[in-house]
Structure 1
């Protein structure tokens, strides 16, 4: 195959030289520059590679196959010789393979299985700007390997639209940029008609572009559903002219994908309806017009299912620019955008790590043995904690977040931990084959057209499809994909059993329980449509649910609502199976809780399955060992105001909070409401030892508990720096009042004092090592405020004469000297007769 000249060709020697001098590189190259297919072969003879393999990561299976196929054709070889690929459930590699194109999850498995990456000299992360979770994790693991085991390993991050400066800074790597090969593209926004859906708008744009412009059309749509609807519209109202309609998405067979990626044999114009797999890494010849819906399906955490699902979202501006650039690869082109020109897009795509389920990541980190990895964007702490909670429920992690033997087996399967737990649960071949069916069903789009909340109906449709009698109201292509995926799972698990022809609904539920132990649900004793879930929440059935009357269910999909969740997809589960398989989750014991009506603790003997109460009866005397925790829970519910605060203790707390703001170097703890409520177990629970009532806690005990948050030396500093009282010139000590402002910040402390007590004092008193002036409330002899100031000197100089004139006649028994600077300060009235 004759290789065309690619724009990146002049840069290839510099790429080789850079990697000879530095083990990491950031390479920016626009679409069409040739980075995907030209860089790996150019590195094969580099001395630093030493004859080892190059592994290049591609975010999509279509791109991985296409890139491997193109490089193999360049070398005049079949795929699987010196260039091969590995993707999920498919690979073409051999002992001779030097360049291996893999999808992102494959690298994670390679690293976990062989952290030294034996025989591999370079890792190339293509299209890194897409920021898939697997790519972020792969890069973090690779950096760890490079730092500790393989300093000779080369790492290259490549992208067309990338914040290269930030990534180069993170990697401490050189940054090279290649020119692209692009012709001008005229961009226009194709207006929608009133209340027009996206697919009819796309059909009109296609018809207009076919009539107005030459060349092939590439139409970006969010997913297969939108592609199918647009196909149907074009079939019902075909645009004039001779053209071929094709589709491109990740679920096509290799042959179907290859057909789209090759020029039309008969020279006809082509209209390609594609997902964002066509946005990068694959080249469609002859495209002169791009029609962009402005949308894509991207992973988002779906709390309904517990998995990351593909949601339709607006693309980023970088993606819009890259899509438009596809029209300028062979000649000047045109791009029509199906969103208003006024709509503003986010500049860059958000990384998946910030918005998807992290249970797989948490399991990978546990398997690696460390979570002290360097991520370009660290995983959110809350999402990571929730992921670890789930993994403990699945018995993949122990209480210390260390991976268990079962967790290692789950990790080796390379799928979502929920599915892995289910696939490993059965021990006979027939149930393993059924678990493979369920895994394929859970990962796939719904094959049923009418709404149904029964998982069993979906499996029955699959079984009927296999028997050649699929129900009419099903998607046959979806069932075919599910059947193929189930077959791959059976092969992966070395299960030689045929899928069962029939299965009881309880068989499905018993397996699903291992994937969703937190969503096992028991029917409410008073309301048969409501269920209590093992995680403690409540859920309800559809009004026309086919699951009505089942005493136990396991939900594979929920829709969370304000009150009860809605059971969208579930299967019945057998209680006897639960008691056998989840014996440790059934517990009976005394529980103590706060009774708000009695304002006292109550004790009950409770049998539970996790958060589900199976039975309850009064237990009589409150167990003192459980009482302290129950009282802490009562305070968490009622708030800190339920505790016996004295004025002096409240002020001490405020003094600490104010000093924390004025003198942060002291390192005083946060004693705000939120911080105290979050740490009740640490500081308050010991004070409730031996108590069974909330009002049994005395104020001195509360004071000691609260002050235990501050060590003894710091307590002395609080007394010195934020005193409760201060001596004034009259010889008396007056109280300082502390407070917080509306925003929670420290307000200026207040000293309220009769102004006669300050005669002779020039400067406003200060606290906190002189950093904070007191706000003086200067009072009349009757205790009423006459002036509020932090400038006492200015008060004597400017305001005192006026105050003296006004007050002298009103309070004749008190001194009102003309010269307050030299008058004697006093807290008393003038002596009788003075």
Structure 2
């Protein structure tokens, strides 16, 4: 095959020179520049590569196959020779492969299995702007390998739309940019009609484009479901006569994908309905018009299922620009955007690491043994902590160390929940059933909505539809296409687990739940003893069945999907399980414990002997003689339930809290040495500061003010207490010679959630400040007092933080009004030089 010219060609020598001198590089090139297919071959003969392999990470399977096929064809070879690819459930590489295109977690597995990356000389991260979690993790691992083990390893980060300056600074790498190959594209907005469905909106735009513009049409839709609906809408109209309608998404057979990526052999016009797989990495010949829905399906953490689900979201402006550019590859083009021109998009796509579930990442970090990897965007601490808690329940972590089971789970390349379930069964039929359940949980729901609008909450109905499909029957409430995909996915899992046949069609009633519980140990649930629709979960939460639930009456269930609601969560999908199986598989989670607890109903301590499964109370009996050493724990629980207001606060203690909090805010340099006395911090640390003070006490009201004060101040050394007194004194000497009280306050509703300090207040009679030119200040002069100036009778006259301005401007009016009302008190014309006093004038003066 003769090699076509690409815009990236003129930059290739500089890329080779840069990598010869520096081990990292950021490469920016717009779609069509050729970076995906031209950079890897250009590096094959580089001296620093020394005959080793180049591995390129692609974010999507379609793009990985297409890139490998194009590079192989350029060399006149078949895929699997010099150029190959590896994706989930598919491997086209050989001993001769030197350019290997990989997807998803394949790169992570390569690095985890061989941290030295023996035989690999370069790692290329293509389309990094998509910011998939696997790419962020792969880059973090690669940087760690490069720093510790392989200084000679080259790392190239490539992107079409990227904040290259920020990334180059993060990597300490040179940055090169290539021109693209494009023609002008006219962008217009194609308005929707009132309450118009997406597929009909897209159909009208496509029909307009076919009638108005030459060339092929590329329509971007969020997913396979919307593509199918649009295809059906086009088939019912005029578009199918004018052009061939093709689909492009990751679930298509390889042959149909390849057809879309090649020009039509007969020169027919084409309409391609594509997901954002067509946004980058693949080139569609002949496209002159782009129809952009402005939508994409992207991973978002779904607390209902415990997984990252694909949600329909608005694309970023960078993606919109990239999509429009697809219309300008071969000639001037047109892009029709199906959202209002007034709608503003986010500039760049958000990194997945910020909004997806992180159990897989946490397991990879545990396997790597170093949680201090450098990420372009660090994983959120809360999400990472929740992920580690789940891994403990799954048996993948012991404390923070990965277990042998955890390492086996990693080899399966799926979510840790599913990996734990796939590895749990010992019996062949259950292993086959686990493969079916993994496919069911990962895929879209095969059941159609019922006539009432909802779907069954029984996972068993979905499996039964799959079993019927295998015997040649498709039930009326099931989707054939969904069942075909499910069956194929289950076969792939059986192949991975070396299971020869699908599970038997006549499963016992609890079979599905008995396997599923290993994926959702936190969502094992027991029926409430007084409400058959309500269930208590192993993680301590509660959930309710729908009124028409297929699961009504089941004593134990395991929930694969639930929806958060105001009080109890709602069970969306679940299966019954056998308590005997639960006791056999998780005997260590059944416990018996004597507990002393706070009983809010009687506002006192109660002692009980509880039998539990995790946090599900199976049985509770009262104890006559509780252990006195446990009282303090129960009283601390009481404060957690009742709040800090249940403690015997005095005005002096409240003021001390406010003073400490104010000093923390006013003096940032002292913040690390002073305790956080906010409500949230005190409640979170009750065991540390309050529990010792409750030792030996049997009632909450036995704690007196003195003991509470000592407990509250226990973490503050004497020298620091004196420092607080100096910076935020309780009293101040005014010019009259007397001490007056300063009041401190804290606004609990501050914008930062921690609250903000209120201005400290000094209430003082005006005559006591004569001769004082400026407002008194505290906190080493940083904070002026708010002066509440009082009349001789103690009534407010003025509030000010600028005493000098008060004397100059306001005092004359105050004097005129007050002189007649309080004639026995001094009202000098010159308050600057008058003597301050707290007394009235002597009689006769």
Q: Output the TM-score relative to the length of structure 2.
A: 0.94
| CA offset digits 1:218-255 (Å, max 9, x no partner) | 22111111111112222233436453222111011221
1:708, 1:405 → 2: CA distance? 44
2:4, 2:809 → 1: CA distance? 89
**Which of residues 699, 702, 717 is equivalent to 1:711?**
717
Q: Does the C-alpha gap of structure 1 residues 545 and 754 become closer, same or farther in structure 2, counting only changes over 3 Å?
A: closer
Matches within 5 A, 1:688-707: 688-707=694-713
SS of aligned partner of 1:311: strand
The yes-or-no answer on 1:183 pairing with 2:183 is yes
1:229, 1:812 → 2: CA distance? 90
The yes-or-no answer on 1:722 pairing with 2:728 is yes
2:36, 2:690 → 1: CA distance? 60
Q: Does the C-alpha gap of structure 1 residues 50 and 201 become closer, same or farther in structure 2, counting only changes over 3 Å?
A: same
Gap runs ≥5 in structure 1: none
1:98, 1:174 → 2: CA distance? 25
The yes-or-no answer on 1:379 pairing with 2:379 is yes
The yes-or-no answer on 1:314 pairing with 2:320 is no
- Whether the 8 Å contact between 1:104 and 1:138 is mirrored in structure 2 is no
Aligned to 2:691: 685
Aligned to 2:452: none
- Whether the 8 Å contact between 2:433 and 2:502 is mirrored in structure 1 is no
The yes-or-no answer on 1:774 pairing with 2:778 is no
2:145, 2:85 → 1: CA distance? 23
Matches within 5 A, 1:538-577: 538-577=542-581
- Tell me the CA shift for residue 283 of structure 1: 1.3
- Whether the 8 Å contact between 1:45 and 1:51 is mirrored in structure 2 is yes
**Which of residues 654, 665, 669 is equivalent to 2:669?**
665
Q: Output the TM-score relative to the length of structure 1.
A: 0.95
Gap runs ≥5 in structure 2: 450-454
Matches within 5 A, 1:204-243: 204-239=204-239, 241-243=241-243
2:291, 2:824 → 1: CA distance? 92
- Tell me the CA shift for residue 122 of structure 1: 0.5
- Whether the 8 Å contact between 1:505 and 1:571 is mirrored in structure 2 is no
SS of aligned partner of 1:529: strand
| CA offset digits 1:389-419 (Å, max 9, x no partner) | 11111111123x2212221111222110000
1:203, 1:429 → 2: CA distance? 49
Aligned to 2:757: 746
| CA offset digits 1:133-189 (Å, max 9, x no partner) | 100111111111111111111111111111111111111111111111112222222
SS of aligned partner of 2:762: strand
Matches within 5 A, 1:34-433: 34-239=34-239, 241-399=241-399, 401-433=400-432
Aligned to 1:617: 621
- Tell me the CA shift for residue 88 of structure 1: 0.5
1:166, 1:84 → 2: CA distance? 32
SS of aligned partner of 2:105: helix
2:387, 2:437 → 1: CA distance? 22
1:120, 1:194 → 2: CA distance? 56
Number of residue pairs matched by the alignment? 833
Deviates more, 1:254-263 or 1:810-819: 810-819
Q: Does the C-alpha gap of structure 1 residues 774 and 345 become closer, same or farther in structure 2, counting only changes over 3 Å?
A: closer
Q: Does the C-alpha gap of structure 1 residues 491 and 618 become closer, same or farther in structure 2, counting only changes over 3 Å?
A: same
- Whether the 8 Å contact between 1:601 and 1:622 is mirrored in structure 2 is no
- Whether the 8 Å contact between 1:728 and 1:734 is mirrored in structure 2 is yes
Aligned to 1:785: 796
- Whether the 8 Å contact between 1:463 and 1:502 is mirrored in structure 2 is no
- Tell me the CA shift for residue 764 of structure 1: 4.2
SS of aligned partner of 1:413: coil
1:182, 1:586 → 2: CA distance? 66
- Tell me the CA shift for residue 755 of structure 1: 4.2
Q: Does the C-alpha gap of structure 1 residues 80 and 600 become closer, same or farther in structure 2, counting only changes over 3 Å?
A: same
- Tell me the CA shift for residue 61 of structure 1: 0.7
Matches within 5 A, 1:637-652: 637-652=641-656
- Tell me the CA shift for residue 722 of structure 1: 1.9
- Whether the 8 Å contact between 2:129 and 2:162 is mirrored in structure 1 is yes
| CA offset digits 1:168-221 (Å, max 9, x no partner) | 111111111111111222222222222210101212222222222222222211
- Whether the 8 Å contact between 1:522 and 1:612 is mirrored in structure 2 is yes
- Tell me the CA shift for residue 73 of structure 1: 0.7
Q: Does the C-alpha gap of structure 1 residues 600 and 277 become closer, same or farther in structure 2, counting only changes over 3 Å?
A: same
Q: Does the C-alpha gap of structure 1 residues 617 and 41 become closer, same or farther in structure 2, counting only changes over 3 Å?
A: same
- Tell me the CA shift for residue 769 of structure 1: 2.5
1:731, 1:216 → 2: CA distance? 91
2:822, 2:210 → 1: CA distance? 97
SS of aligned partner of 2:531: coil
Aligned to 1:441: 440
Aligned to 1:23: 23
SS of aligned partner of 2:196: coil
The yes-or-no answer on 1:653 pairing with 2:653 is no
- Tell me the CA shift for residue 787 of structure 1: 4.2
- Tell me the CA shift for residue 478 of structure 1: 2.2
Aligned to 1:733: 739
1:527, 1:557 → 2: CA distance? 21
2:816, 2:211 → 1: CA distance? 94
- Tell me the CA shift for residue 311 of structure 1: 1.0
SS of aligned partner of 2:787: strand
1:296, 1:796 → 2: CA distance? 66
SS of aligned partner of 2:16: helix
- Tell me the CA shift for residue 822 of structure 1: 6.5
Q: Does the C-alpha gap of structure 1 residues 798 and 692 become closer, same or farther in structure 2, counting only changes over 3 Å?
A: same
1:301, 1:591 → 2: CA distance? 36
Q: Does the C-alpha gap of structure 1 residues 452 and 811 become closer, same or farther in structure 2, counting only changes over 3 Å?
A: closer
SS of aligned partner of 1:515: coil
| CA offset digits 1:410-468 (Å, max 9, x no partner) | 12221100001101111122221221111111111122224222211222222222222
The yes-or-no answer on 1:484 pairing with 2:488 is yes
Q: Does the C-alpha gap of structure 1 residues 791 and 194 become closer, same or farther in structure 2, counting only changes over 3 Å?
A: closer
- Tell me the CA shift for residue 261 of structure 1: 1.3
- Tell me the CA shift for residue 592 of structure 1: 3.3
- Tell me the CA shift for residue 623 of structure 1: 3.5
SS of aligned partner of 1:735: strand
Q: Does the C-alpha gap of structure 1 residues 336 and 46 become closer, same or farther in structure 2, counting only changes over 3 Å?
A: same
Deviates more, 1:504-513 or 1:492-501: 492-501
- Tell me the CA shift for residue 734 of structure 1: 2.4
Deviates more, 1:358-367 or 1:794-803: 794-803
1:563, 1:695 → 2: CA distance? 32
- Tell me the CA shift for residue 494 of structure 1: 2.9
1:621, 1:822 → 2: CA distance? 75
Deviates more, 1:43-52 or 1:641-650: 641-650
- Whether the 8 Å contact between 2:24 and 2:173 is mirrored in structure 1 is yes
1:832, 1:728 → 2: CA distance? 25
- Tell me the CA shift for residue 638 of structure 1: 2.2
SS of aligned partner of 2:111: helix
Q: Does the C-alpha gap of structure 1 residues 246 and 805 become closer, same or farther in structure 2, counting only changes over 3 Å?
A: closer
Q: Does the C-alpha gap of structure 1 residues 64 and 785 become closer, same or farther in structure 2, counting only changes over 3 Å?
A: same
